[in-house]
Structure 1
Amino acid sequence: MRIEVGGAGAFFAEVAAGLPTSTAVAVVVTHLLPGQMNFLTAFEHVARVVAVLPKPKSADLRTRELIAAVHRCDALDRARFADPLWLTAYLEGRAAGRRLVLADIGGYFAPALAEACTRFSGQIAGVVEDTENGLLRYMQLDTLPCPVYSVARSPLKEPEDRLVGEAIVFSIESLLRRMGEVLPGRRACVLGFGKIGSGIAAALHGRHVQVTVRDTDPVRQAQAIAVGYRSGPLPEALGGADLVVSATGSHAIGMEHLDLLRDGAFLAGATSGDDEFDLSELSDEAGGFTRQDVIDGIARYDREGRAFFLLGNGNAVNFLHTSAMGPAIHLIKAEIVAAAARLLSDPHEPGLYEVPARTRARIAAAWVETFQRPADAPHGRQVPQ
């Protein structure tokens, strides 16, 4: 069953036609968002998808219904997937005795991967990881027990990273406008000047926001200053900002930083709240905060006469508006499928891998042909592995 039609369907059909098939199966962690699901049809060409694991904070209800009509959808829980016994039992229940590829977003399989590779009755052929945070989780393992392909640093992901920054700022602006507030003329602090943080800073600057950037990496901090952003000590950067956006994925904001925020500041995250913030005490009496839901997507926290506003409950704020990416998202989705095909068709030793440049070029050429040509032009280019 085709979930979506149009250019994306044609593009992924073209990608899949150039990739080898196999008798293997796949478990796929994914966002379930409108306009982004055709890649599952292409994945089915490479390996039968026996389970889809929707990211909890980015599962659009209607899209989930469409996917659930085609694929089994299971719950994704980081604590459970970190338990080797639980993970092994889960994989046995979905793919016992089979050759299996794991598609990941955020390193969910990393903690228990070594034991699962040993205990699983079939063979874990490898993992394909989508994100920088997930890649770091696999890199932190003492020894990789199987091959791991990363697309996190692929040039085909760069358009997505820039668009994510724009989507985050769009969502922030939309929420503020619902409160009768606007972005132009405000002061913002962006924590982290990586691929997404730099996109956030640029999108804020384009909306006439005065931007201060803080990054613990001196090279990135220098890059931010060199292109014109302000800098300064963290207490001053936080205290002078009407809006703080954290894009580090490494608990940049904890309870100890809340007193540094100016009264009435807005706080937003660019990744999962579990990765971006360490604010568990907000819901505890020990934290001393009272919460008031102002509108859907914004909560006000008060303590001792001071307040701040938390957007999206601390999770990636762009998913409040389905994080629309347009056709650019298909580039990296196609590379994920191509990486899975390589895992299943070529022998690999355990270790980190990237898709070859020639494969990326073929994917990009097919994408350009699909999305930049006249609507009545014929299809025909295949994308070999």
Structure 2
Amino acid sequence: MVITHLLPGQMDFLPVLDRVASVAAVLPKPKSADRRTLEAVTASYRCDPLNRSNFAAPAWLTAYLDDRAAGRPLVLADIGGYFAPALAAVCEALPGRIAGVVEDTENGLRRYLALPRLPCPVYTVARSPLKEPEDRLVGEAIVFSTESLLRRLGEVLPGRQACVLGFGKIGAGIAAALHARHVRVTVLDTDPVRQAQAISIGYGWARLPDAIAAADLVVSATGSRAIGMQHLTLLRDGAVLAGATSGDDEFDLAGLHDPAAAFTSTELIPGVVRYTRSGRSFLLLGGGNAVNFLHTSALGPAIHLIKAEIIAAAARLATELHDPGLYEVPTAVRARIAAAWVEAFQPLDDTAVCGFGKAPTR
């Protein structure tokens, strides 16, 4: 069972995974399902709707998995901890049938680690070194999409003041991409080590109210609802608010649509809504969801590194018995993946070395 983004250039992993363990169903993440990609995947695989509330209901999820598995053991490929809430109940109801879970993201890993105990093996690739290129490129994609939307409104990023909340791998990528566009960047992180890293690199720091109040652009990359309704009054008039993960994980802004909040909304262009109250306004990008998915979040060949590791983890679950617990793909396997990727995507020949002219004669 594969929960996944359906994006151009990222779906080659499905037929390879299908050779490791037959794909019973693909569950596209609704905010990152490109229409043409969805049509292509649906032609080859069963695609079912993904709903977090259904997946949190043990009876519903047990019945669903039992039906799709048709008596076979299951490997659950996850992005965002969808299987976590009901996993213990499912493992109990389907004894010996859940071979394990492969979780892709840090937010999803946190959901599994929050369980009283892991009822089955869970492989994580969230903290793998092979994921670091993807995380950096996601940061670049988030800034690209933000800049693209602002340019359609006649605005530019250079010279602006930005506040980045969260200095994990994606937050660090966002900060670097903004800095490269000549944006003044302030970084806030609740982890003192990460905060120190950000300051040592040269990013600014301020307390949250001051940092938000000074920013033209606030990008939240924490996965822990860092921005709520109480923070909206801190935003400067006309500020832009963007998220790096699912809106449910990043923001707590359900009250925006409560009549008592007295906000009026105007869609300026697709993906940009202006919210106004008492003569002050701010712009929310992508409805609070990961803004990079508005432009399919192209990541290039680097995405295949982590997709290959996901396949390797699924293969281990499909072929080897594991005790319940948390696992990572062995370092040696990661090294083989990296070597194969280098050979596939960065070939050297007799005429060029690193792209700089002809190789010297020996």
Q: Which residue of 1 aligns with 2:230?
A: 256
Q: Which whole-Å CA distance do the structure 2 matches of 1:131 and 1:321 have between them?
A: 20
Q: Which whole-Å CA distance do the structure 2 matches of 1:65 and 1:96 have between them?
A: 25
Q: Which residue of 2 aligns with 1:32?
A: 6
Cα deviation 1:112-162 (Å, max 9, x = unaligned): 000001112660000000000000100010110000000000000000000
1:352 aligns with 2:320: no
Q: Which whole-Å CA distance do the structure 1 matches of 2:348 and 2:58 have between them?
A: 51
Cα deviation 1:22-48 (Å, max 9, x = unaligned): xxxxx0000000000010011011110
Q: What letter matches 2:241 in structure 1? A: L
Which of 267, 275, 281 in structure 2 is aligned with 1:293? Answer: 267
3-state secondary structure, aligned to 1:50: coil
Structure 2: gaps of 5 or more residues: 351-362
Q: What letter matches 1:315 in structure 2? A: N
1:104 aligns with 2:83: no
3-state secondary structure, aligned to 2:172: helix
Q: Which residue of 2 aligns with 1:10?
A: none
Superposition pairs for residues 83-98 of structure 1, below 5 Å? 83-98=57-72
Q: What letter matches 1:64 in structure 2? A: L
Which of 192, 215, 223 in structure 1 is aligned with 2:166? Answer: 192
Q: Which residue of 1 aligns with 2:299?
A: 325
Q: Are the equivalent residues in 2 in contact too, given 1:100–1:122 (CA < 8 A)?
A: no
Q: Which residue of 2 aligns with 1:308?
A: 282
Q: Structure 1 74/361 Cα, relative in aligned 2: closer, same or farther at 3 Å?
A: same
Q: Which residue of 1 aligns with 2:87?
A: 113
Q: Which whole-Å CA distance do the structure 2 matches of 1:122 and 1:233 have between them?
A: 50
Which of 28, 31, 42 in structure 1 is aligned with 2:16? Answer: 42
Q: Which whole-Å CA distance do the structure 2 matches of 1:288 and 1:45 have between them?
A: 54
Tell me the TM-score normalised to structure 1 length.
0.90
Superposition pairs for residues 166-315 of structure 1, below 5 Å? 166-315=140-289
Q: Are the equivalent residues in 2 in contact too, given 1:189–1:244 (CA < 8 A)?
A: yes
User: Where do 4+ consecutive residues of structure 1 move more than 2 Å?
Assistant: none
RCO comparison, higher one (Cα < 8 Å, 6+): 1
Q: What letter matches 1:53 in structure 2? A: L
Q: Which whole-Å CA distance do the structure 2 matches of 1:157 and 1:177 have between them?
A: 30
1:69 aligns with 2:43: yes
Q: CA RMSD in A?
A: 1.1
Which of 314, 317, 324 in structure 2 is aligned with 1:340? Answer: 314
Q: Are the equivalent residues in 2 in contact too, given 1:96–1:120 (CA < 8 A)?
A: no
Tell me the TM-score normalised to structure 2 length.
0.95
Q: What letter matches 2:123 in structure 1? A: Y
Q: Which residue of 1 aligns with 2:360?
A: none
CA drift of 1:92 comes to 1.4
CA drift of 1:345 comes to 1.4
Q: Which whole-Å CA distance do the structure 1 matches of 2:193 and 2:348 have between them?
A: 43
Q: Which whole-Å CA distance do the structure 2 matches of 1:158 and 1:266 have between them?
A: 27
Which of 47, 52, 59 in structure 2 is aligned with 1:78? Answer: 52
Structure 1: gaps of 5 or more residues: 1-26, 377-385
Q: Which whole-Å CA distance do the structure 1 matches of 2:329 and 2:343 have between them?
A: 21
The count of aligned residue pairs is 350
3-state secondary structure, aligned to 1:31: strand
CA drift of 1:265 comes to 0.1
1:155 aligns with 2:158: no
Q: Structure 1 123/375 Cα, relative in aligned 2: closer, same or farther at 3 Å?
A: farther
Q: Are the equivalent residues in 2 in contact too, given 1:91–1:120 (CA < 8 A)?
A: no
Q: Structure 1 325/375 Cα, relative in aligned 2: closer, same or farther at 3 Å?
A: farther
Q: Which whole-Å CA distance do the structure 1 matches of 2:17 and 2:155 have between them?
A: 44
3-state secondary structure, aligned to 1:168: helix
CA drift of 1:375 comes to 9.1
3-state secondary structure, aligned to 2:27: strand
3-state secondary structure, aligned to 1:251: coil
